[in-house]
Structure 1
Amino acid sequence: MNAESSHDDPPPAYTEIDGRINIDLDSRLSRQLANLVPEPPAYSSHSEPKKALISSKSWKIRLDIIIQVVGSRGDVQPFITLGQELQSYGHRVRIATHDSFAAFVGESNLEFFPIGGDPHDLMTYMVKNPGLIPSMSSLRAGDIRRKRAMVGEMLNGCWKSCIESAPGHGRPFVADAVIANPPSFAHIHCAQALGVPLHLMFTMPWSSTRHFPHPLANLSRAQLDPGAMNFVSYMIVEWMTWQGLGDVINAFRAKLDLERIPTTVGPNLAEMLEIPFTYCWWPSLVLRVSDVCGFFFREPPRYSPPTEIEKFLEVGPEPIYIGFGSIVLDDPAAMTKLILEAVRTAGVRAIVSRGRSKLGSALASDDFDANIVLFIEDCPHEWLFQHVSVVVHHGGAGTTACGLRNACPTIIVPFFGDMVAAAGAGAYPIPHKSMTADKLDTAIKFCLQPTVASAVAQMSATKSTEDGVQAAARSFHANLPSNTFTCDILYDRPAVWLFSNKRPSLKLSTLAAQALIKGGKLKAKDLTVFQSKPVQISNQRWDPLTRIGSWGLSNARNMGTAAVDMVSSPYTAIKQAAPGDSATKTTNKAFANIGKNFGKFNGRLFQGMTVDLALAAAEGLRAVPKLYGEEVKSHGEVTDVASGFSVAGKSFMHGMADGVTGLYSQPVQGAKEEDALGFAKGAGKGIIGLATKTTSAAIGMVAYPGQGITKSLIAPFKSTTRKAITAQRFLEELRKRLQRLFEFRQRRAGALESEEMRVFGNFWSVDDLLDHRVGQLRFLRLE
């Protein structure tokens, strides 16, 4: 291998799974999905975050931001850097992650909220089960049940992190925006329940693209367009993940009073909702993905190396670095032996990080030369990589970034898929299950070539000055709905309440709402929770057969669940009876449960056979023109009775009009494109359109109002989450006001009264405040 070939030749195909899902692209499912791949959009070789001029000086609205992260320390660290950057905008930032990172987050002057879950157990599971597909040993050991239980625990922890005070701290918190990495899973559902914006950020490619496959996908050779193959890999990986966790996620959504997500929608939910996505790497490494902002570099920590490291660096030439971080190896002793042999053969010195697998711990002092190999515990990469020539690691984004920033050629041993393709920055990846001493020796020698070192040094010099975390913060703010986000009275606060008794309606922050309530200008019951970014999830289908088929399966499941509940409810009542309960009381509870579940059974039967069936037919027929490339108009989402009748009216008018005019317009359009043959095709499309569009329009006159009535009837019974958010909103603002009043009195007591504080004192009376014009309320911005 030489430096020139590393740039021009494609990387070798992986022959082992190595944490990836093997996808047979010749399968029937893969080929069907390939037909749904959209045409490649126009792109530029450099992606820039939107509206890059947004800065901490120009942004005025101060938010409570929750950042949810699931993963290892390397996954958490970039988001700590981002949190510190967001604090410079005046935001309150909370990091929600695993309990084991409490001290790590606390040291960064950020709030911490524990969500449960053990990153060590998650990493162990993924190494034992390549491609996320459980092995027989994992099934026998009960790993699947424990992993699902862990995910359920983390989902609940993520929701609590959005609306509860952190353990040990009394300060209330309600998230105004959510930032998350994709493996946290709860992000979309928390944002939907709160009605706030969501922004996903990650260190690996995770949104569908034609330019490279999903990082967890190992594609087979197939007679398909390479771009379509790559695009399909994202669909399949997400689909397989949903199969394992979809029921856990839907159970979590039920706790948040959210509707169930169908299997056909869940895997592609983030892209369907067009959630903004920012990626954290240099654009020169992975191109053609939107909003690539650069790596998140933190300020180098203060560090004094132990004496053993200083001495090792002094006694010989610059060593290489080898470490696999939090990865759990099946056989650490064998990996240690392999490393020692490769280092000896390559004729280099090495610093080896013991990591989670405790490499080298079984060695005796005479098993290796202490002047050639040094085993160390944790050491900041920012410091260490200034003193090594090559880095060998597992492909984590943080380690990759730090190595490249310090101009160190890189050898990646991918465990769950590497994010760096051959870009002149080092040797090709070596899957860890196929790694040998000879392969590692060859890769080390390749990285030590002057041409490779020069290429990496040039990349480092041109890119190390870029500030990825600042670009990510700008991208986050640029994607906020700033036009609807602001309180109509206090312009530096987010709107969280809607006063709709006035036309036009008034968006209010909690402080403004409380002032108006205390002044008698409105009543608390007149306020509803304002959703700055409402989310409506619809069950999209491609044709009547799939739509009605899905209805049948869903209806059967709902009926079955209700029937089981009806039969089991008496036994539940008996099992839950208190020791002192009489037989009569227990029997009454049992019969009450039977009656309750009998009513639920009949309700689901009625809804399924009337509203849901009609809706499935109307939506399925309306989607038929998509099958031959015609765009289908959107008439909005049904959320209540009024919107149900509105959608029905629009659907009827457009359906009837388009169905009739299509008899003429489709043949004419076809004739322009393909002459006589096109005319015949267009005539067929027009006839099909007339039948499906008009029938859908007619059925929709019943289906959409029925859907709206159903949602309006159910809404009052699904208000637990809404009430919890309401209570926390007022509690949060009450604490802020008490804090301001306390600080005000402290300043006055200390004779530190400023002009601004005198104004605050003169107008502290709510009645006085309300007598002034809206613009004069801005002096309340004192926090």
Structure 2
Amino acid sequence: MSDELQPSVKADGRVDLDFDSKLARTLTEILPSPKDVPSSSSPPPRNWHIPLNIVIQVVGSRGDVQPFIALGNELQKHGHRVRLATHDVFEEFVRDSGLEFYPIGGDPAELMAYMVKNPGLIPSMKSLRQGDIQRKRAMVAEMLDGCWRSCIEPDSFSQTPFVAEAIIANPPSFAHIHCAQALGIPLHLMFTMPWSSTRAFPHPLANLKYSNLDPERANWFSYGLVEFLTWQGLGDTINKWRSSLDLQPVPLSEGPSLAETLQIPFTYCWSPALVPKPADWSSHIDICGFFFREPPAYTPPPDLDAFLAAGPPPVYIGFGSIVIDNPQRMNDILVQAVRAAGVRAIISRGWSKLEGPPSEDVFYLGDCPHEWLFQRVSVVVHHGGAGTTACGLLNAKPTVIVPFFGDQPFWGNMVAAAHAGPVPIPHQALDVDILAKAITVCLTDEAATAACIIAEKMKSESGVRAAVSAFHANLPIEAMQCEILPNRPAAWRIKAGSQKRKIRLSKLAAELLVQNSCFDRQAIKLHETNRFRIENRRWGPLTGSNSAAIGTLADMADATIGVVSKPYEEFKGTTEGLTSRAGTSTSSSILSKSTSSSDKSAGSSKTRDPFRTAEAMATQSGRSLGKVATTAVRGTIVDIPMAFAEGMHNLPRLYGDEVKDHGEISGWKSGLKVAGETFVGDLTDGISGLVVQPYKGAKEEGVLGLAKGVGKGVAGLVTKPVSAGLALLVYPRQGIYASLRTASHQKTRNTITKSTIFEGEWLAKTDHQVDMATLTTKYHDLVDCTT
């Protein structure tokens, strides 16, 4: 982003966005403005009867994972098979809760340490010098791959096959939309902080500066700009991973706003008693309440029990999964502040391992359920994680929040606004006097009363039940239902009867019908229950074609660099591989009782074949050179003409006219269809607009509207016939390219097919509730109906 926007990071991790800069003012004129959303309620509750394979993808700390365990347990009550995919260190935590677990990699302790050092979106120079950025990007790449495998691989514990039929995720997992697109299944996002554009309040990570811009517009634009900064840092990593899934790259202009553009259902798990739903959030966005799990059984150790009984309720202080740079300094501040306030305290050691000498007024605590402990303390002091904040308020405890990053300042401000605690204290500003005064504020009657009022409202909510209801309400039930076994989700489709109607089949139904020789396995195709259409939207013919040309040149430059860099990477990889294999061979020769022939084999593995290495290097160079040529041809024949045609088709939007969506071009057939329909539609609209537009304008705005209508009609007569002609030239070409690309990128599709067949075979062996005679009769009845 240009320096004119001046994104910088404050001590609390919030990003400065200067809307008075020239670039920012230009962007706010170009970018879509906030739209009025018609008053609409959420989809009505639905009695769901189809058990699904659901994978929940979560990146973050234990506090981020715990709410989704509660959600998973509630989903299980509806018959769903639930897999929670998160960091490896949480395996025991997840499995002990009765959920399946899948490891996605990533070290949450390292992630937390990075976030404490870099609480905002822009990394510090210290992190740049220490190589933290590359490590974080490598970790994100690892987690993206882990999230994908969590959708299609068997359970690592039981080896039970699993192919996801729906995804629930928190936004920082990043893989969610892309996994759902590859599988063609529904996605539902859930989070503890605002992530959807609204005029009601700014993005929690944004610190806005403006003088002339309307505050509501500034709030709205803050979401897009924060997302843009995020995509700038990770977009190339995500697109590289998408290519491994045979998905096309997401354009820079679309990546930051994918969830909003695709209108992905979004449920926010906080209490509306703290933050009500903004009026400009449409029906696919819900606020359902905090997620609380069933309180675990817990027996306190004798020393904790004795400390609680030895005096008045203590103050709880803990920072959970936060990894603090200087834990000793933090511990000294906490102990001195407790004594200055004249209270007793329980200090949670947490991931920072806070510790000190035993004393009568301070008790150091290991792992302990907050649900049990917070009933027995007077005040809670913590980092402001959503789960910890919710648990404290549910138990009517006044709260001091010491935020480090992320949504923590947001929750600190919400608690302060509700008068249940003081304004949040950034951890960099924390000292003995400030903390002692904050604890004293929480011990007042005013804070206790405010906390009790919030607690009473929260007790009437059931966040997990409301979230499950919202999840069910947003599922496309008709597309997901097997037509033979209606209580099973559809995974396959087959064209049957003389009219070749597509029949939806579940994994079990399809496998049993194949085994019963009703049709060959090759006759069935994967069924997408939810299709994602990611387009590179063009504003006009010039901007569109220029953008496509720049993209083509950038890809060609990247491929040209690869002519030299790829052979070097091949040589480097071969050298490292030889070193690795040499070490492995040496270990093998020590551990095995093989003959001298094994030693020869081990010795030969250490020898690099220069001819094979040179051949591999030449191959990599040739591939890059070929990519230069293919990129140039594709850009000239397909991408740039397509961008110009799309820009011309969308041009009427710039002068207030409506533009019809021509649909997706996914192959040569749809290319021909879109070309024909666009030609007829644009040509007809261009001619009829001379009459229709003035009539509509006069009806809506009188004489002024008539004048506007005449202008729109004349403009349409010029632009729309040109768009119609371009459609005949460009869209069939795009359809042919789409068909060729699909035919040459089948690896992921084949992997999904094999995994789905594998699960179907397993179901056929283990599920004995289906009567074969009834099943085949229903199938033949459906076939007969289509004839």
| TMscore range, shorter length | 0.7 to 0.9
Q: Say if 2:297 is the partner of 1:308.
A: no
Alignment of 1:475-494 (within 5 A): 475-494=470-489
Check conservation: 1:43, 1:288, Cα contact below 8 A: no
Q: How far apart in 1 are the matches of 2:448 and 2:182?
A: 51
Distance 1:364 1:625 in 2: 73
Aligned residue for 2:321, secondary structure, equals: coil
1:64 paired residue number: 53
Rate the CA distance shift 1:706–1:302 in 2: closer, same or farther, 3 A: same
Change (3 A) 1:661 1:340: same
Counterpart of 2:453 in structure 1 is 458
Moved more, 235-244 or 216-225: 216-225
2:509 and 2:775 in contact (8 A); partners too: no
Structure-1 residue corresponding to 2:663: 636
1:24 matched to 2:18? The reply is yes
Q: Is the 8 A contact 1:655 1:696 kept in 2?
A: yes
How is 1:733-772 mapped onto 2 (pairs within 5 angstroms)?
733-740=760-767, 768=773, 772=777
SS in 2 for 1:500: strand
Q: Give the AA of the match of 2:209.
A: S
Could you tell me how far apart the structure 1 residues matched to 2:142 and 2:693 are?
A: 54
1:667-686 equivalences under 5 Å are 667-670=694-697, 679-686=706-713
| Matched-pair identity in % | 51
Deviation at 1:631, TM superposition (A): 2.9
Please name the residue that 2:556 is paired with.
Answer: 559
For residues 588-599 of structure 1, the aligned pairs below 5 Å read 598-599=625-626
Q: Contact 1:547/1:619 (CA < 8 Å) preserved in 2?
A: yes
Q: Distance in 2 between matches of 1:319 and 1:629?
A: 64
Q: Hey, what does 2:33 align to over in structure 1? A: 37
Match for residue 622 of structure 1? 649
Aligned residue identity for 2:741: I
CA RMSD of aligned residues (A): 2.7
Q: Aligned partners of 1:331 and 1:570: how far apart in 2?
A: 45
Other structure's SS at 2:490 match: coil
| SS of corresponding position for 1:686 | helix
Aligned residue among 381, 393, 405 for 2:382:
393
Given that 2:277 and 2:286 are in contact with CA atoms closer than 8 Å, whether structure 1 keeps it comes out as no
Equivalent in the alignment of 2:160: 171
**Could you tell me whether the CA contact under 8 Å between 1:395 and 1:413 is conserved in 2?**
yes
Residue 538 of structure 2 corresponds to 541
Is 1:150 the counterpart of 2:139? The answer is yes
Alignment-derived partner of residue 780 in structure 1: none
Contact 2:15 2:120 in 1 (8 A): yes
Whether the 8 Å CA contact 2:9–2:122 is kept in 1: the answer is no
1:51 equivalent in structure 2 = 44
Partner of 2:323: 328
Change (3 A) 1:414 1:520: same
Distance of 2:657 and 2:377 partners within structure 1:
59
Which amino acid is the alignment partner of residue 383 of structure 1? W
Deviation string, structure 1 residues 585-610 (Cα, Å, up to 9, x no partner): 77776666666555544333222112
Per-residue deviation at 1:263? 0.4
Q: Work out whether residues 495 and 530 of structure 1, in 8 Å CA contact, stay in contact via their aligned partners in 2.
A: yes
CA distance in 1: counterparts of 2:571 and 2:271, whole angstroms? 62
Equivalent residues in 2 for 1:81-480 (5 A)? 81-289=70-278, 290-359=285-354, 361=355, 363-365=356-358, 370-416=359-405, 417=407, 418-420=409-411, 421=414, 422-480=417-475
Once the two structures are superposed, residues 557-613 of structure 1 have per-residue CA deviations (whole angstroms, 9 ceiling, x without a partner) of 232344344566666777759979988777776666666555544333222112212
Amino acid in structure 2 at the alignment position of 1:285: L
Contact 1:663 1:686 in 2 (8 A): yes
Give the TM-score taking structure 2 as reference length.
Answer: 0.87
Question: Which letter maps to 1:772?
Answer: T
CA distance in 2: counterparts of 1:771 and 1:398, whole angstroms = 50
What residue number does 2:597 align with? Answer: none
User: In 2, Cα distance between the equivalents of 1:514 and 1:722?
Assistant: 18
Aligned to 1:748: none
Query: How far apart in 2 are the matches of 1:134 and 1:325?
Result: 23
Cα distance, 1:43 vs structure 2: 5.3
Q: Quick one: structure 1 residues 364 and 455, their matched pair in 2 at CA, closer, same or farther if it must change by over 3 Å? A: closer
Q: How many correspondences in the alignment?
A: 729
Residue 39 of structure 1 aligns with an amino acid whose one-letter code is: K
- Higher mean C-alpha displacement, 624-633 vs 181-190: 624-633
**How many Å separate the matches in 1 of 2:14 and 2:42?**
30
**Quick check: 1:722 aligned with 2:749?**
yes
Q: CA deviation at 1:496?
A: 0.6
CA distance, structure 1, for counterparts of residue 614 and residue 447 of structure 2: 80
Report the CA distance between 1:349 and its aligned residue.
Answer: 2.1
Aligned-partner residue type, residue 31 of structure 1? R
* Partners of 2:544 and 2:644 within 8 A in 1: yes
| Aligned twin of 1:747 | none
Deviations, residues 268-290 of structure 1 (Å, cap 9, x unaligned): 01111110000111111111243
C-alpha distance in 1, partners of 2:555/2:449?
64
SS at match of 2:400: strand
Superimposed CA distance per residue, residues 59-115 of structure 1 (whole angstroms, 9 cap, x where no aligned partner) = 221111100000000000011111111111111110100000011001011111100
**Residue-by-residue CA offset, 1:499-527 (whole Å, 9 max, x unaligned):** 12543211111221122222332222221
Deviations 1:237-288 (A, max 9, x none): 1100100000000011000000110000000011111100001111111112
Change (3 A) 1:210 1:17: farther
Q: Taking structure 1 as reference, are residues 399 and 592 closer, same or farther at Cα in structure 2, changes over 3 Å only?
A: closer
Deviations 1:716-774 (A, max 9, x none): 21101111111111111212222346xxxxxxxxxxxxxx7xxx7xx5xx6x5565345
Q: Distance in 2 between matches of 1:583 and 1:438?
A: 70
Note the C-alpha offset of 1:534: 1.0
Is the contact between residue 68 and residue 95 of structure 1 (CA under 8 Å) also seen in structure 2?
yes
Matching residue of 2:740 = 713
Matched residue, 1:510 = 507
After superposition, the Cα gap between the structure-2 partners of 1:569 and 1:438, relative to the gap in structure 1 and judged at 3 Å, is closer
Q: Indicate conservation of the 8 Å contact 2:545/2:641, yes or no.
A: no
Q: 1:38 to 1:15 in 2, by over 3 A?
A: closer
Letter in 2 for 1:210: R
Contact 2:690 2:713 in 1 (8 A): yes
- Cα distance, 1:373–1:544 mapped onto 2, change above 3 Å: same
Aligned CA distance change for structure 1 residues 736 and 464 (closer, same or farther; 3 Å): same
SS at match of 2:777: coil
Instruction: Please list the CA deviations of residues 319-351 of structure 1 after superposition, one character each: whole Å capped at 9, or x if unmatched.
Output: 221211111223323322332333233322222
Q: Shift of the alpha carbon at 1:185?
A: 0.3
1:125 deviation in Å?
A: 0.9
Match of 2:528 in 1: 531
Change (3 A) 1:586 1:382: closer
CA deviation string 1:690-722 (max 9, x = no partner):
332222221121111111110101112110111
Q: State the alpha-carbon separation in 2 of the partners of residues 567 and 336 from structure 1.
A: 54
For residues 716 and 453 of structure 1, do their structure 2 counterparts lie closer, same or farther at Cα, with a shift above 3 Å needed? same
Matched, 1:691 2:718: yes
Q: Secondary structure at 1:498's aligned position in 2?
A: strand
Contact 1:33 1:232 (8 Å CA) reproduced: no
Q: Judge which range, 459-468 or 184-193, deviates more.
A: 459-468
Give 1:351's aligned amino acid: I
What is the CA–CA distance in structure 2 between the aligned matches of 1:21 and 1:583, rounded to whole Å?
52
Structure 1 residue 645, shift from structure 2 partner: 1.2
1:572-611 pair list within 5 angstroms: 598-611=625-638
Which amino acid counterpart does residue 399 of structure 1 have in structure 2?
T
Distance 2:439 2:571 in 1: 69
Looking at structure 2, the residues matched to 198 and 358 of structure 1 have their Cα atoms a distance apart, in angstroms, of: 38
